[in-house]
Each structure stands twice: as structure tokens, then as C-alpha cells.
Structure 1
């Protein structure tokens, strides 16, 4: 049973729920407790899961990871006008080795995704994203991974996996399920020129921190195309988290990262959302409060998903054909949400990587630029990845 290794939420956190207002989230969530056991997953939309594993961190310190402060802060929040059903499954304890933890996490995520339950995972070191990615091995689909991080995390894939090399492992390890990797918020001085060149060579997407803070809406189409979203807390300004990561002086602020989390939730496609690099501190109320609000905004987004059926493009979408050089670009605009997509063409005689959903999310600006004879960069990269 995939969930047999999960430990319940601590009694002290459970006891605090009784002190909360009846309208708070703590009274609305099905919680894995020692007294009541594991909650049923039937009808559940979102499952919160802690993973107490950090041995993959290059700065690993032997200390216990405890998500109680995050849970206290989250339970005390009030829900929006939501219809989502939320469960807290408790914590996955570290196995004898990191590989054991990876295996257990992979099995849990696979089971949840099959049940159409979106797991919100609290970590631990970000190399846990590798285990989440491997959960899709048996789901017969290509995976789009979005990493909100100042680092690309490509690392040296020939060495044992760490929180700074897990993306490199994802790229080189079989089976090859990765279609696209997008980095949101990278900071140039944290990444070698070799890594920057490799991102370009593989036609991956990357968005600098400075460009996004002036135009945060650029995140939306990237999230709309993501299956897994992994957030490294070092991508935030250190003061935003109460100096949990004091060396990271630049990054997203609280409002920006909450908006990004909401974009991730709004995506009809995102099936896993992970928050990693949580470090237990003596005084961690600030960091715990912000992470609780990140979870809240993600769930808010999930609640307002539009569930647009792209296969109905002939009836529910407006179609625009734009000739650019030797290409004929096909744009689709939803008559419901007014969001835009551009078609990635299949090429005869080529072993296309994509087996489903050939529409790439884009913006109205991409359409306007195409009308001005500018090919959208993300479309070009997606087309090249589909050909090689």
C-alpha cells in the first residue's frame, strides 16, 4: 500500500484546531491523525503531504524537519468560496537511504495522480522533484517540468544526485519522459555559462528574475503547460522568509510568489505542486506563514480552474492563421476564457515526442507579434524539441 509509510499529523497540531474559529481551514480539512487514521481519498481534490527528507542537499545538516509550524499557519487561514476538498495525509518519514524515500514518494504520487488528486508536497531538499518526475513513468505521457528557482539545477549528472543536479539526472536517466523544462526566476550569477549554453542547446525555457518582476503575467502560459511545478524557497528574498536562507538576498517577494502559486493552481494541467528547501528554525513564524499562504493561493487557483477541453478547438475556440516566412502559424483563442494557444505541428516521417495536446499556451502578444512577422520563441523551441 503506497500510503502505509505516512505518519499522522502531530497531536499538538491537531489539538490546536479546536482553538480555531469554526470557519477556519483546520475544521474543513480531512487530517491524518493518530486517533482517526488516514482519511479516505474518494472525492478529494488536493492532498497535502510532508516529506522529511533533506539528505540530497549539498548543505545538508543533520536536523529534524518539522512542518508543524506551516500546518498551524495554514489551518488558521480562512478558505475562499471554494468547492475543493482537501486532505492532509501527514508526513513521509525518510527511508534508510534517499533512494528508499524516492521510491516511496514516487509510489504515493503515482497513486494520487491516478486518482486525480493533486498533491501539494512540502520538502525537504529539492532533489525530491526527481522522485515526483519518476512517478509519471507508468502514466504514459511526456512531462513538462517548471522549476521556480534562481538556479537551473543541471549540475553534474555523472555524480550522485543532489538538490543542485536533479534536473541533469532527469534529462539523462531513462525512461526519457521529459518534454520540456522551464526555469522561472533564474539569477545569472548563480549559473555557469556552461549551464546557460546547455539550456539553449536543449531548447528549454528560462526567464530571468528581473524580467519577470516587471511582467509577472509572462508566467501564466508557462504554468498552463506544466505537469509538475517545483518551488525552491531560495528563489525568494531572504527577508521574505524571515531569513531562512540568509545568503539569497535577491528573489521574488511575498506578493509575487503568491501570484505565481495562483497561476500554477489555475493551470488545468498541473498535477503536482512542490515546495522545497524548508529549513526548521528556532523562530520560523514568518517563513511558515508565507508558505501557508502559498498553499492557500495554489488551492485558490485550483478552485477556479476552467477545465477547457482543447479537443473542442473546432467549436469552442476562434482560429487564426498567420503566415510568417515559410511557416503558417495556427492560433486558437478560447471563447470562454479568452486565453490563447498556438499549434505545434506534427511532422510526417518524424518520431514526434508529443503524443497528446499539440496546443502550446501563449499570449495575445505572441499573436500580435506573429502578425508583425515575429515567430514566438517558445513555439520555435517546442517545434525543435518535437523534431529531435
Structure 2
């Protein structure tokens, strides 16, 4: 197994771990250490991987990243009523070039995902999401990404990749594996109107901060359909964090970002979770603890995953058919989990990417809206994309 790129967790963190309670998470995690090397990954479900790369940050001025404070905070937490099967594989250091770091990250993720281990990537700059996406080239034919961010990060794809333009590269670089891209928590004044219009033209999903804050459950069906979830910690409002981490007085609060992390964990499809744009400073405690709690909630979500029974057996679901705007909409509700789906019809005459009836996660509210002659926006965008 080629994990040569990974350097062990620092002795400082391990020394801190020795002082913790026997019940703390740090005592239950398999840790990559200098003394014992890489841990055995048998039965491991989740792997923490730090990536100390921030050179493609548009504000990069030569500073280094260190993740020790996040690890100390996470190790000091107690597990919930779940037994964690977590490994901390240490860090990927900066390569000779940023492309070298991308290659190391891509290789590491490919190995982990193929072993059915969910990587949690703790990163420097968010352009690392591009390398995460490329890891799926050999894993999945189509990829859905959810970005929790105040900005779309589309940027100018003709220019070299940066942490504010990596999405443009994901959309335009071959091979074209991106099916859906959704942004949770964007703030209009941080995004050019052209970018907002482009998101609509591409039938990608975007949810404003106010929308998600008013009803956090909006995030659940979006996460249920995601393979990769990437979080820019700058989407959290500045007052919730230590200095230097967020420049916005508006954003998610700690409770909301933890709820979003839990929704990502509960999703059966999410196979990679990344938290980026951590900027170390002298006073890291609050940000480190918030990121640690986000990881905790993600792990809890994974522990409580419930596989919805397949929809081939009529006994497993209820089916509802309604007419909205002259369009027949078919909804399914799982009897086991009470979760809702809506069917995207297969168009015979179109050479589409789906080739079958596809079930799109939705909410009970979407069904109620359809009963009131309102076509759900998620369905409309997925249907249009299906026609492309």
C-alpha cells in the first residue's frame, strides 16, 4: 500500500494525547506515529489526512500550515454512543510543486476510497478540492460535489488554478466527470452577477446563506446526493472563529456548520469530506475546536447511516403521483427512514448521462409544493441537465 507521502502525527500531539482520559477519542483512534509507523487499516471506516499545502491561496505570502491544534482538540473530545473506527494517517507535506502535492493527495484518496474508507481531508487552501475530484477519475463515472462556501469559486479557468477558481477547472478540464455542483451558503455580495447567472445556466444548485439558515434541513437532500463535500471554513461568520480565519461578519454559526457536517456524514453517498482554509494564528483555540466538533458530527453521522431499502420492492416505500405545471411528478417515501425522493424520467430520444429512471433526493416540502402546482427547483435542474 503506497502511503509514502504521509508524514506521522507530531510528537507534541502524541504527548498531549497521553494526558487525556482513557475514554477520549484520542485513545480510541489508530494513529500514524514515528515509533509505530502507519496503523493497520483493517476495519477502519474513516481516515483523517492533513494536507499542508496553501501555495495556491490567492493571499499566500509564504506562511506554513500546521494542524496540531485541530488534532489536540479532536483527540480531547469523547465519542457519542458509537464506537469510532478512525485512523489518523498524519499529513501530506508540501511537494516540490503544488502539482506534486495534488498527485500525493489524489493517490492517497484513491487508495482509501477503493478500500471503502472515508477520508476527512484537513487542508490548507480549498483548491485541494480539485485533486480530490480527480481522485474519482478511476472510481466513479459521474461525481456530485457540494461546496459549503460563501463564494462559488468559479474564477477564470484560463488562468492557473487558485483557491478562488478551482471550480472552473473542475467544470472545464477533461475528463468531464462532474454531474452536479451545489453551493450551500453563498452570499450574493461576494459573487459577480455573471457567476450567479452561470450557475443557473449550467443547472447547478446554489442556496443562499439566508435560505439555509432559515431552514437547515434544506441541506439534507443536497448532501444525500453528494460524493464529495468540501467546506470553506470562511463560510462561518467571523465572530465564531479565532482571528485571521474569516473576513465576513455574516455566515453560518457553529451550530449550523455542525448540523451541515452531520448531514454530510449521514448521507450514504458521501465518500469524502474536506475542511479547508484553516489559517493558523497565535490564538487558534476557537477555530480548532469548531473544526474538531465538525469532524465529530461528521463521524457521528457516518455511524448512524441507514441504508434505505431498494425501491424495487413495493413494501419498502410509499409512492405518490401528483401533477404540477402539466408535469406528472412521482415521489417515493422510504418506510424505513421517512426520507423522500422524486423521480427524474428517462427520455428515450436523448443520449443522456443517466440512462434510467433516477431517484433524486428531496424533502417532504417538495411534495407539498408539487401538490400546490409548484415544480421543485431541484427536480427542474436535474431534469434539464438530463436533457443536455
* TM more than 0.5: yes
Q: Does 1:10 align with 2:10?
A: yes
Q: Is the 8 A contact 1:141 1:355 kept in 2?
A: no
Change (3 A) 1:16 1:316: same
Cα deviation for residue 327 of structure 1 reads 2.2
Alignment map for 1:201-240 (pairs within 5 Å)? 201-240=201-240
Match of 2:285?
A: 285
Deviations 1:142-166 (A, max 9, x none): 1110000000000000000001000
Listed as ranges, the gaps of 5+ residues in structure 1 are: none
Q: 1:383 to 1:151 in 2, by over 3 A?
A: same
Corresponding residue of 2:58: 58
Q: Distance in 1 between matches of 2:229 and 2:61?
A: 26
Partner of 1:361: 361
For 2:239 and 2:276, the matched residues in 1 are separated by 17
Report matched runs for 1:287-326 at 5 Å.
Answer: 287-312=287-312, 314-326=314-326
Report the alpha carbon displacement of residue 242 of structure 1 after superposing the two structures with TM: 1.3
Indicate the SS of the match to 1:298: helix
2:312 & 2:14 partners in 1: Cα distance?
46
- Which stretch of the first structure deviates more once superposed, 44-53 or 241-250? 241-250
Are 1:163 and 2:163 matched, yes or no? yes
2:194 corresponds to 1:194: yes
Q: How far apart are the structure 2 equivalents of 1:200 and 1:305?
A: 32
The 1-side partners of 2:111 and 2:309 are apart by 24
**Residues 1-388 of structure 1 mapped to structure 2, 5 A cutoff:** 1-312=1-312, 314-354=314-354, 358-388=358-388
Q: Does structure 1 conserve the Cα–Cα contact (< 8 Å) formed by 2:325 and 2:374?
A: no
CA distance in 2, matches of 1:356, 1:225: 16
Q: Distance in 2 between matches of 1:309 and 1:96?
A: 48
- Measured after TM superposition, the shift of residue 309 of structure 1 is 3.8
Aligned-pair distance for 1:356? 7.4
Tell me the distance in 2 between the aligned counterparts of 1:104 and 1:53. 11
The total of aligned residue pairs comes to 388
Q: CA deviation at 1:311?
A: 4.6
Runs of 5+ consecutive residues of structure 2 not aligned to the other structure: none
Per-residue Cα deviation, 1:216-258 (whole angstroms, up to 9, x for no partner)? 1111111111110000011011121112335222111111111
How large is the Cα RMSD of the aligned pairs? 1.3
Aligned partners of 1:127, 1:313: CA distance in 2, in Å? Answer: 43
Q: In the aligned structure 1, how far is the partner of 2:265 from the partner of 2:56? A: 27
Distance of 1:311 and 1:105 partners within structure 2? 36
Query: Deviation digits for residues 99-122 of structure 1, max 9, x if unmatched?
Result: 111111111111111111000000
Report if aligned partners of 1:2, 1:104 keep a CA contact under 8 Å in 2.
no
